[in-house]
Amino acid sequence: MPELPEVETIVRELNKEVKGRKILDAWTDWPKIIKLPAGFSNFKKEIINRIIKDIKRRGKNILFYLSDNKIMLIHQKLTGHLLIGKWQFCQFDKQKESGLKGNQKWKPEDKNSALTDPVNQYIHVMFWLSGGKMLALSDVRKFAKIMAGDKDKILNSEDLKNLGPEPLNSSLSVEILEKIMAQKFGIIKEVLMDQKNIAGIGNIYSDEILWEARINPFKKANKLNRDEIKRLYKAIKKILNKAIKYHGDSISDYRDIYGKEGEYQNIQNVYQREGEPCRRCGTKIVRFKNKGRSGHYCPRCQK
């Protein structure tokens, strides 16, 4: 489940691998992933024969800036993986090649290939690029989302327009954070994860940030005092920057575009550490449920 640090890692790698390349062709076996424009052939018209000028991140969204003022947006949601590789046929061709019928799905031998191999049974969208490269979207649960269109249209779409400030640049200051929190009645854990408030933070990093800031996840956002806001602000910057340094968190199924794991799972303080000792005070980490989401915290340091 990529959050800001994972998406940032992917975007940096994409800038090395696909910037300057032309999109030659695209393929899908699950057109529902494409939200805009309607119809895969229309989608292809927006991107084919256009050059990838730049790749940027906004929250958890990946933005491919294309020639002719077009943008392709990809959101990987829970299980989406962008994988880079050499030109290959898609798994549909593999299926034909091996003589399998429609209901017999071709599967690669390696069980891990959904996370690492640009040709596997979970690839639902593929892009053939100039220079013999291929970019594939693997997505077990088919939640990923892709949109393409005129730059202004995409930048003004609900998906981007409603996002809160980017936490790692100057668009988030202590004052802005204080303002955001002052008008939120929900618990801080939820408020942090709501993309309308701050962009890019999900379940893993909200847990980690609150532990770092020594704030109880159930505390109401508007009840945070000035000192807590400051700690929260520092923790957001520190944890997200550190996680980028560690190339993301692969406790679950996150991989980069080469299929490689991040390292942050090795230094996590609370997420999925239920029952293990808090690294600050030794108290057992507690797992809780809120609105069907799990969270983790230290009941002693996060009062």
Partner DNA sequence: ACAATATCCTGCGAGC
Partner DNA sequence: TGCTCGCAGGATATTG
User: At 244, is the secondary structure helix, strand, or coil?
Assistant: helix
Helix %, strand %, coil % for the chain, to 5?
Answer: 35, 25, 45
DSSP codes of every residue in 170-224: TT--HHHHHHHHHT--SBHHHHHH-TTTSSS--HHHHHHHHHHHT--TTSBGGG-
Return the number of the residue (99 or 185) whose C-beta is nearest DNA: 185
To the nearest whole angstrom, how small is the minimum distance from the Cβ of residue 203 to DNA? 4
Please pick, from the candidates 42, 162, 173, 266, the single residue that binds DNA as defined by CB under 7 A: 162
Contact window for DNA (CB under 7 A) among 12-20, 129-137, 183-191, 278-286: 183-191
Residue 196: both structure tokens together: 């309308």
* Nearest by Cα to 4 from 275, 229, 182, 192: 192
According to DSSP, the residues that pair with 56 across neighbouring strands are 63
**Nearest to DNA of 69, 183 (CB atom):** 183
Which of 60, 70, 247, 273: binder of DNA (CB under 7 A)?
A: 60
With contact defined as beta carbons under 8 Å apart, do 217 and 207 qualify? yes
State yes or no: residue 78 binds DNA (CB under 7 A): yes
Query: Exactly one of 44, 57, 60, 70 is catalytic; which is it?
Result: 60
- Does 3 participate in catalysis according to the annotation? yes
Q: What residues are paired with 61 via a beta bridge?
A: 58, 75
Active site residue 293: yes
186 in contact with DNA (CB under 7 A) = yes
User: Is residue 6 part of the contact set for DNA (CB under 7 A)?
Assistant: no
User: Binding to DNA by residue 104, rule CB under 7 A?
Assistant: no
Residues within window 108-147 making contact with DNA, judged by CB under 7 A: 111, 140-143
Q: Which residues are catalytic?
A: 2-3, 60, 293
